[in-house]
């Protein structure tokens, strides 16, 4: 295992105090902090070789293009893609999933076709398919989850049929943390000739990812959830499918040639990246991937498991005052825990934790149907990453003990509704 205290030295923000308390940052499922190395890589680009890519023969443009293209190679290696040509840079997971829905779905779905998604979806892997289905006359069908927050595979097998053209699902839930069996789902989709689309936002940053073993057709993930900059993400897709897709967004750098009568599209991945890309973002994301590679993704995964196990151990001390959403086995979930404190609104708990220096997420987490299925309007979510410690988890448990002891008083405080967010 890596030395967590040494890792923390790379994140100056962790030395901050919030409301006079040392910052404990447990909102990593929303966005992670950035190490000095990533910030420095982005700064070097802007300070020393800032230029547009693929548009000039001058030195700065050549240097920028080289770094930008190398970033694709770094990302391809990280997920064991067959080629860097399969790595399409997008703004984030949502953008990547929309690219698949509109770029592939709009041209391949027909009236009467079916798209299968789950009740577990983040809105970003549900709403694009609903929009496209409505446009073309296809139908979206939903697979439920169990009381424990596990995907109902028996129902999935019943729902998937010869009418199914797409099976889209979260590789790991951003609420209950459940890690889904991607290969099983992919094989089921392929058995009826459908494509399998994985929302990897909560999976790729936490679990060693091998796209060849997973057998999916598309995976989208965000850089900012894995130590990288905001505004950059990756859509990985099978090369043959990416080549067959008509570009969803067109314009600069998507073409080789244009006449008044025709267009010759660019090679992969550039035909799917219109206009000036987020060059600095890709360079920063590549540096984040190098950082995670040095730590070792297997160790990143084990670190998550240890923190979740410590959380559940602490929750046992709190008894029935804590209601956990999702499975309680750390081995089948990622490094996050969503819960509620009995008789307290989730926003009230989140604000009380903030007063104690602990940053968590509260609300529906852009997964409202899942919350409703489990009987909640929202939850408190503590999510961990490589710089979090067991000591922080213990401080978190002590903070919850204090909040529970003040529950009667806190319950009388007005609840300020805030954005329910990711």
Scanning the structure block, which residue is given the tokens 């995976």? Answer: 219
> Which residues, at least 6 apart from 410, have a Cβ–Cβ distance to it below 8 Å?
344, 348, 352, 403
419 is catalytic: no
How far apart, in whole angstroms, are the C-alpha atoms of residue 401 and residue 340? Answer: 13
Q: What is the CA radius of gyration of the chain?
A: 22
Scanning the structure block, which residue is given the tokens 């697979």? Answer: 143
Sign for the CA dihedral angle at 16, 20, 22, 24 comes to negative
Q: Which of 120, 366, 404, 410 is flagged as catalytic?
A: 366
What is the CA angle 66-209-35, rounded to 5?
60
First to last CA, the chain: 30
Query: What count of residues does the chain have?
Result: 422
DSSP 313-360: HHHHHHGGGEEEES-S-GGGB-SEEEEEETTS-HHHHHHHHHHTTEE-
DSSP 288-314: HHHHHHHH-HHHHHHHHHHHHHHHHHH
DSSP 81-102: -S-GGGEEEESSHHHHHHHHII
How far apart, in whole angstroms, are the C-alpha atoms of residue 330 and residue 177? Answer: 9
| Residues involved in catalysis | 366
């Amino acid at each position: 295992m890596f030395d967590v205290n040494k890792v923390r030295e790379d994140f100056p923000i962790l030395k901050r105090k919030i409301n006079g308390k040392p910052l404990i940052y447990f909102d990593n499922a929303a966005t992670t902090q950035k190490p000095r190395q990533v910030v420095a890589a982005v700064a070097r680009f802007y300070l020393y070789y800032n230029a547009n890519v693929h548009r000039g023969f001058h030195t700065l443009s050549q240097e920028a293009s080289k770094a930008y293209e190398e970033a694709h190679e770094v990302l391809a290696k990280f997920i064991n893609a067959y080629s860097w040509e399969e790595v399409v840079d997008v703004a984030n997971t949502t953008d990547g999933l929309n690219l698949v829905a509109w770029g592939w779905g709009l041209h391949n779905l027909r009236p009467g076709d079916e798209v299968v998604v789950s009740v577990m979806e983040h809105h970003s892997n549900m709403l694009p398919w609903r929009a496209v289905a409505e446009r073309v006359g296809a139908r979206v069908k939903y697979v439920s989850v169990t009381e424990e927050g596990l995907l109902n595979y028996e129902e999935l097998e019943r729902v998937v049929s010869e009418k199914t053209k797409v099976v889209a699902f979260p590789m790991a839930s951003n609420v209950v943390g459940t890690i889904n069996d991607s290969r099983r789902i992919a094989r089921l989709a392929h058995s009826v000739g459908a494509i399998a689309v994985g929302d990897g936002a909560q999976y790729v940053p936490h679990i060693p990812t091998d796209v060849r073993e997973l057998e999916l057709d598309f995976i989208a993930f965000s850089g900012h959830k894995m130590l990288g900059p905001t505004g950059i993400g990756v859509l990985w897709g099978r090369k043959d499918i990416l080549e067959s897709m008509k570009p969803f967004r067109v314009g600069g750098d998507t073409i080789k040639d244009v006449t008044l009568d025709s267009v010759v599209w660019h090679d992969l991945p550039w035909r799917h990246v219109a206009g000036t890309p987020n060059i600095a973002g890709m360079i920063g994301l590549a540096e984040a991937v190098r950082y995670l590679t040095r730590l070792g993704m297997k160790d990143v995964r084990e670190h998550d498991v240890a923190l979740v196990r410590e959380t559940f151990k602490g929750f046992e001390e709190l008894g029935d005052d804590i209601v956990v959403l999702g499975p309680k086995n750390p081995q089948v979930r990622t490094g996050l825990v969503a819960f509620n404190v009995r008789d307290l609104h989730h926003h009230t708990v989140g604000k009380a934790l903030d007063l104690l220096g602990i940053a968590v997420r509260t609300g529906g987490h852009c997964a409202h149907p899942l919350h409703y299925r489990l009987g909640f309007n929202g939850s408190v979510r503590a999510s961990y990453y490589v710089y979090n410690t067991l000591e922080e988890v213990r401080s978190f448990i002590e903070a919850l003990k204090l909040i529970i002891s003040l529950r009667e008083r806190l319950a009388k405080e007005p609840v300020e509704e805030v954005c329910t967010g990711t």
